[in-house]
Amino acid sequence: MTTGEDHKTSGVGKDLIVYFCLLALAGLQFLIAYQDISASQMFVRMLIVAVVEAALALLFFMHLWENRGLKWFVLIFTVAVILGMQYGWTDSYRLLDGAPWAK
């Protein structure tokens, strides 16, 4: 049986692990920046790492992991809004390359 004090101690240990994971992931982003790949490939890789970093920070640093209802509330609202913003990407390609989808 664990006491409240044990829980707090293990909580600090968990925070340290998450912190070092975040540092490693941030380092990975810097390594990707020096890879000899196209800008779009670099963008996708960096974005995936950033999403993993954000998920770790949200779940463990902001303690969203401990509240199931709030976790889904935040996730659904935020993801829905961010996904809704993606409607304009095709237009940015149209500006760059003409109107490929208008043909």
Site residues for another protein per CB under 8 A: 8, 11-12, 15-16, 19, 22-23, 26, 29-30, 32-34, 39, 42-43, 46-47, 49-50, 53-54, 57-58, 61-62, 67, 69-70, 73-74, 77-78, 81-82, 85-86, 88-89, 91-93, 95-96
What's the min distance (Å) between Cβ of 102 and another protein?
16
Q: How many CB atoms lie within 10 A of CB 64?
A: 18
Between the two ends of the chain, the Cα-to-Cα distance in Å is: 69
d(CA 62, CA 67): 10
